[in-house]
Amino acid sequence: MHPVRCENAVSMRQLMDSLLAEANELPAHEAFTALAPYYDELMAEVPYSSWVDYILEILRRLKYRFRTVLDLACGTGNVAYEFARRGYSATGVDKSAAMIKEAKRKAQLHPDLKLRFYCQDISA
């Protein structure tokens, strides 16, 4: 499989359909290997920042204090990144080595943040 950049919504949809068809033939963690290079582009509309704001508001109301976050099945690390951006130490774990590789690549762009990522199967 060769990386492809999409220039418009039609080609993005075609790429996504192609990747999903290929992914359906694989075990779940291997399917994400095919999706990893495109995952953030495919999920660009997901409001990760709002999700983290919501979680933090719930925990604030519960008067729960913490400094570290463990993001299980973290994918490319978007939720972990949002916590780290707010000053928390965040660790992401995912079974897909390709997703973790992408998360680590993105984390290198923000060396000031407390981010760590590990490839590990959390199902057992």
The answer as to whether 3 is a domain residue is no
The answer as to whether 80 is a domain residue is yes
Note whether 34 and 90 are same-domain residues.
no
The residue segments making up the domain with residue 13 are 9-42
Packing angle, helices 28-35 and 97-108, rounded to 10: 40
Note whether 61 and 108 are same-domain residues.
yes
Note whether 73 and 91 are same-domain residues.
yes
The DSSP H or E segment spanning 76 is: none
Tens place of pLDDT per residue across the chain (124 aa): 444 444 555 565 666 666 666 666 666 667 778 788 889 998 999 999 999 999 999 999 999 999 999 999 999 999 999 999 999 999 999 999 999 999 999 999 999 999 999 999 998 7
Report the candidate in 75, 123, 83, 81 with the shortest Cα–Cα distance to residue 100: 75
Note whether 61 and 32 are same-domain residues.
no
